[in-house]
């Protein structure tokens, strides 16, 4: 919503949609731009949860996926999936189903009272390198498999 605010204030025509509608929205899309929290040495992107889904959808339709990432976010680590390392957010954040500013709890509001129910709010996910077309860094445009090369050159 913050991004939407920024773009609308800059005068750009925007359409806001839920993540479930990404397949439908892809029909009108020619390029996808995503941000990054970190870039692994196997070319995988570690970013906000939902990023991987958008990238995969775009790849299915042969739409270029462009990641904008500074080189200080490149790491020596290698991660193969989203579960090996992740961060849990506050589970109460997913109880609120309101689309306006006023919170409206849904069916999950009594989750603490139900012994068999646990809520999981993961904050990050991993996008494999095959879904990423290019990475734009301050040193230029590189393919995502060249992340370890940049790390090597700058050591």
Partner 1 sequence: MESLKDASQKLKSSVKNSISLSAGADLFLRFVTRTSHDVTNFEACKEHLMNSGKVLVEKAAAVREKIGDLGVQFIKDDATILIHSYSRVVMLLLQRAAACKKRFKVYVTESRPSCLGIRATKLLCKAGIPATVIYDTAVGYIIDKVDAVFVGAEGVVENGGLINAIGTYQLAVVAKAANKPFYAVIESYKFVRLFPLNQYDLPTHTPDLLTFPDLEHHTDLSEDEIIGNYEAINPSVDYTPPDYITLLCTDLGVLTPSGVSDELIKLYL
Q: Taking CA 129 as the corner, what is the angle to CA 6 and CA 18, rounded to the nearest 5 degrees?
A: 40
**Minimum CB distance to partner 1 smaller for 36 or for 65:** 65
User: Which of 62, 99, 100, 113 is in the footprint of partner 1 by CB under 8 A?
Assistant: 62
Q: Of 118, 122, 124, which Cα lies nearest the Cα of 38?
A: 124
Per CB under 8 A, 112 contacts partner 1: no
Q: Of 26, 45, 27, 25, which Cα lies nearest the Cα of 36?
A: 45
CB neighbours of residue 53 within 10 Å: 16
CA distances from 28 to 41, 56, 59, 63, 104 (A): 33, 16, 14, 10, 32
Per CB under 8 A, 71 contacts partner 1: no
User: Which of 66, 74, 82, 121 is in the footprint of partner 1 by CB under 8 A?
Assistant: 66
User: Which of 22, 53, 64, 96 is in the footprint of partner 1 by CB under 8 A?
Assistant: 64
**Minimum CB distance to partner 1 smaller for 95 or for 144:** 144
CA distance 144 to 67: 9
Only one of the segments 45-53, 94-102, 117-125, 138-146 lies at the binding site for partner 1 (rule: CB under 8 A); that segment is: 138-146
User: Which of 31, 48, 61, 104 is in the footprint of partner 1 by CB under 8 A?
Assistant: 31
Binding site for partner 1 (CB under 8 A): 31, 62, 64, 66, 130, 133-134, 139-143, 145-146, 149-150, 153
């Amino acid at each position: 919503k913050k991004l939407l605010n920024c773009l609308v204030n800059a005068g750009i025509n925007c359409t806001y949609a839920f993540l479930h509608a990404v397949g439908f929205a892809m029909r009108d899309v020619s390029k996808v731009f995503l941000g990054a929290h970190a870039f692994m040495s196997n070319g995988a992107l570690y970013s906000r949860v939902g990023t991987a889904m958008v990238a995969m959808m775009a790849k299915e339709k042969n739409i270029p996926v462009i990641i904008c990432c500074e080189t200080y976010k490149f790491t020596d680590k290698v991660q193969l999936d989203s579960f090996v390392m992740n961060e849990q957010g506050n589970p109460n954040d997913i109880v609120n189903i309101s689309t306006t500013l006023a919170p409206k709890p849904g069916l999950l509001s009594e989750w603490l009272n139900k012994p068999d129910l646990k809520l999981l709010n993961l904050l990050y996910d991993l996008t494999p390198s095959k879904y990423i077309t290019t990475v734009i860094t301050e040193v230029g445009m590189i393919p995502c498999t060249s992340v370890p090369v940049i790390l090597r050159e700058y050591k």
